[in-house]
């Protein structure tokens, strides 16, 4: 039986203003570090891996944004590995996201907009990861989370302003699955970004 058939929804609109937002990946969640210097990097199971030491709380996430993970392979010796980010999403709900690395130098872009990042674990790296400059790092991404609350689904971004000037909304940059939007004009520290968006809330 499909319970959504008899569901009842209400539609709402909300405004999000980011003052002097940062460029994506300039806020460091976890600084570039040799993989073999991170705790538990070569354990086979996530449960055996240690937590990475995160940057100061104030620099981890200045707004709900996705996380970008980058592995730098100094000599094409890495064949794979995993990491998982834990924290609170744009609605303050506990969330986690798995990052899978398939080998070599690679950047993996996450989808979950983390308002806070509380810990990161790494495990299952294969190949040779003991060389200097075989590194891993995590930074903030360009996907901005749009707070809505629980039992909500993002419908549309209806207005975008950049430095108080209207922008054409790029609808292809909306993710209704994750409730995120990449602004048409790239974020930077010299202006405000203002977003108006609609969403539906399930009430029954």
Q: Judge if 71 and 14 occupy the same domain.
A: no
Q: Is the pLDDT of residue 192 over 70?
A: yes
pTM for the full predicted model = 0.90
Q: Judge if 9 and 75 occupy the same domain.
A: no
- Counting the structural domains of the chain, the total is 2
Q: Judge if 138 and 149 occupy the same domain.
A: no
Q: Is the pLDDT of residue 138 over 90?
A: yes
Q: Judge if 50 and 122 occupy the same domain.
A: yes
Which is higher by pLDDT, 82 or 188?
A: 82
Q: Judge if 122 and 160 occupy the same domain.
A: no
Q: Judge if 10 and 60 occupy the same domain.
A: no
90, 125, 142 — which closes off a domain? 142
Q: Judge if 77 and 162 occupy the same domain.
A: no
Q: Judge if 16 and 40 occupy the same domain.
A: no
Q: Judge if 97 and 187 occupy the same domain.
A: no
Q: Judge if 134 and 157 occupy the same domain.
A: no
Q: Judge if 115 and 192 occupy the same domain.
A: no
The per-residue pLDDT for 2 is: 52
Tell me the pLDDT of the chain averaged across its residues: 88
142, 159, 183 — which closes off a domain? 142
Q: What are the pLDDT digits (tens) for 63-82?
A: 899 999 999 998 889 999 99
Determine phi and psi for 16, rounding to 5 degrees.
-125, 125
Q: Is the pLDDT of residue 1 over 60?
A: no
Q: Judge if 156 and 130 occupy the same domain.
A: no
Residue 108, domain extent: 28-142
Mean pLDDT along residues 19-23: 73
102, 122, 142 — which closes off a domain? 142
């Amino acid at each position: 039986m499909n319970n959504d058939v008899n569901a009842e929804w209400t539609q709402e609109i909300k405004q999000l203003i980011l003052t002097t937002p940062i460029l994506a990946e300039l806020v460091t969640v976890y600084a570039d570090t040799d993989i073999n210097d991170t705790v538990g990097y070569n354990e086979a199971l996530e449960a055996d891996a240690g937590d990475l030491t995160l940057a100061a709380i104030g620099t981890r996430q200045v707004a709900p944004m996705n996380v970008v993970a980058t592995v730098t392979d100094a000599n094409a010796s890495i064949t794979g590995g995993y990491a998982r980010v834990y924290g609170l999403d744009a609605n303050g709900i506990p969330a986690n996201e798995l990052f899978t690395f398939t080998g070599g130098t690679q950047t993996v872009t996450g989808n979950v907009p983390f308002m806070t990042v509380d810990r990161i674990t790494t495990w299952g790296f294969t190949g040779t990861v003991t060389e200097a400059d075989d590194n891993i790092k995590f930074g903030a991404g360009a996907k901005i989370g749009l707070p809505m609350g629980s039992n909500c689904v993002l419908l549309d971004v209806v207005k975008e302003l950049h430095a108080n000037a209207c922008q054409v909304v790029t609808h292809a940059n909306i993710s209704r699955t994750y409730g995120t939007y990449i602004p048409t004009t790239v974020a930077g520290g010299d202006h405000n970004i203002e977003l108006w968006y609609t969403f539906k809330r399930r009430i029954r």
